[in-house]
Amino acid sequence: MVLTTAWVLGCGRSPSFGEREPFIPPDTEEVLARVPAVGVDARARERAALRKALAGHAGQLDMALRLARLEIEASRVLGEPRYLGRAQAALRPWWDLATPPPGVRLVRATFHHARRDFPAALEDLDAVVKEDPGNVDAWLLRAEVLGIRGEHAEAARSCARLTALTASLTVAVCEARVRSLAGHSRKAHALLSEALRHSGHGQETRTRALATLAEAAALAGDAGLAERYFLRALSLDSKDYAARAAYADLLLDAGRAREAAVVVMDHTQDDRLLLRHVLAENALGSSRAPDVTHALSRRFEESRLRGDSLLAREEARFALQVEKAPEKALRLAQAVWASQREPWDVRLLIEAALAAGRPEAARPALDFLQASGCEDPGLVFLAERVRSLLP
Partner 1 sequence: MSRVALLSLLLASLSAQAQKPSDSYLRLTEADGQGISGRWDVSLQDLDDVLGLDASGDGAITWGEVLAREADIRRYVLGRLVLGAEGAPCALVSQGGLHIRRHSDGAYAVLDFDARCTGSAARLDVDYTLLFDSDPLHRGIVRVGAREPLIFSASQHFARVRVRDESPWRTAERMTVEGVLHVVTRADHLLFLFALLLPSVLRRDADGRWVAVSDFGTALWDVVKVVSAFTVAHALTLVAATLGWASLPPRFVSVAIALGILVAALDNVRPLGWGTRWTVAFVLGLLHGFGFASVLAGMGLSAGSLALALLGFNLGVELGQVAFVAALLPLAFVLRQAPLYRRAVVVGGSVAIALLACLWLAERALGLGVSVT
Site for partner 1 in 283-342 (CB under 8 A): 295, 298-299, 301-303, 305-308, 310-311, 314
Name which position in 151, 175, 227, 240 contacts partner 1 (CB under 8 A).
Answer: 240
DSSP state of 287: T
From the CB of 127, what's the least distance to partner 1, in Å? Answer: 16
Q: Is 272 in the site for partner 1 (CB under 8 A)?
A: yes
From the CB of 87, what's the least distance to partner 1, in Å? Answer: 9
DSSP state of 14: P
Kindly tell me which of 194 and 308 has the beta carbon lying closer to partner 1. Answer: 308
Q: CA 100 to CA 102: how far, in whole Å?
A: 6
Name which position in 12, 25, 101, 373 contacts partner 1 (CB under 8 A).
Answer: 25
Of the candidates 154, 203, 240, the one whose C-alpha atom is nearest the C-alpha of residue 214 is: 240
Kindly tell me which of 309 and 334 has the beta carbon lying closer to partner 1. Answer: 309
* Subset of residues 121 to 140 that bind partner 1, contact rule: CB under 8 A: 135-137, 140
From the CB of 137, what's the least distance to partner 1, in Å? Answer: 5
Q: Is 106 in the site for partner 1 (CB under 8 A)?
A: yes
Kindly tell me which of 220 and 312 has the beta carbon lying closer to partner 1. Answer: 312
* Subset of residues 58 to 97 that bind partner 1, contact rule: CB under 8 A: 66, 69-70, 72-73, 75-76, 79-82, 84-86, 88-89, 92, 95
Q: Quick check: 284 and 258 in contact, CB under 8 A?
A: yes
Q: CA 150 to CA 343: how far, in whole Å?
A: 10
The helix (run of H) or strand (run of E) holding residue 346 is helix 343-355
Phi, psi of 384, rounded to the nearest 5 degrees: -65, -40
From the CB of 83, what's the least distance to partner 1, in Å? Answer: 9
Q: Is 31 in the site for partner 1 (CB under 8 A)?
A: yes
Phi, psi of 255, rounded to the nearest 5 degrees: 75, 20
Please work out, in degrees rounded to the nearest 5, the angle formed at the alpha carbon of residue 159 by the alpha carbons of 156 and 162: 155
Kindly tell me which of 200 and 301 has the beta carbon lying closer to partner 1. Answer: 301
From the CB of 30, what's the least distance to partner 1, in Å? Answer: 5
From the CB of 200, what's the least distance to partner 1, in Å? Answer: 16
* Total number of residues that touch partner 1 (CB under 8 A): 84
Kindly tell me which of 295 and 355 has the beta carbon lying closer to partner 1. Answer: 295
Distances (CA, A) of 375 to 99, 207, 210: 42, 26, 21
From the CB of 97, what's the least distance to partner 1, in Å? Answer: 15
Q: Quick check: 345 and 313 in contact, CB under 8 A?
A: yes
**Neighbour tally for 154: CB within 10 Å:** 15
**Neighbour tally for 28: CB within 10 Å:** 5
Q: Is 103 in the site for partner 1 (CB under 8 A)?
A: yes
Distances (CA, A) of 336 to 181, 313, 320: 16, 6, 14
Q: CA 207 to CA 240: how far, in whole Å?
A: 9
Q: Quick check: 161 and 139 in contact, CB under 8 A?
A: yes
Q: Is 225 in the site for partner 1 (CB under 8 A)?
A: no
CA dihedral 79, 85, 86, 92 (to 10 degrees): 150
Q: Which stretch binds partner 1 (CB under 8 A): 109-117, 180-188, 225-233, 343-351?
A: 109-117
Kindly tell me which of 72 and 280 has the beta carbon lying closer to partner 1. Answer: 72
* Subset of residues 341 to 380 that bind partner 1, contact rule: CB under 8 A: none
Q: Is 42 in the site for partner 1 (CB under 8 A)?
A: no
DSSP state of 267: G
From the CB of 315, what's the least distance to partner 1, in Å? Answer: 11
Name which position in 110, 193, 282, 293 contacts partner 1 (CB under 8 A).
Answer: 110
From the CB of 160, what's the least distance to partner 1, in Å? Answer: 17
Sequential DSSP letters for 65-131: HHHHHHHHHHHHHTT-THHHHHHHHHTHHHHT-SS--HHHHHHHHHHHHHTT-HHHHHHHHHHHHHH
From the CB of 110, what's the least distance to partner 1, in Å? Answer: 6
Name which position in 151, 227, 271, 281 contacts partner 1 (CB under 8 A).
Answer: 271
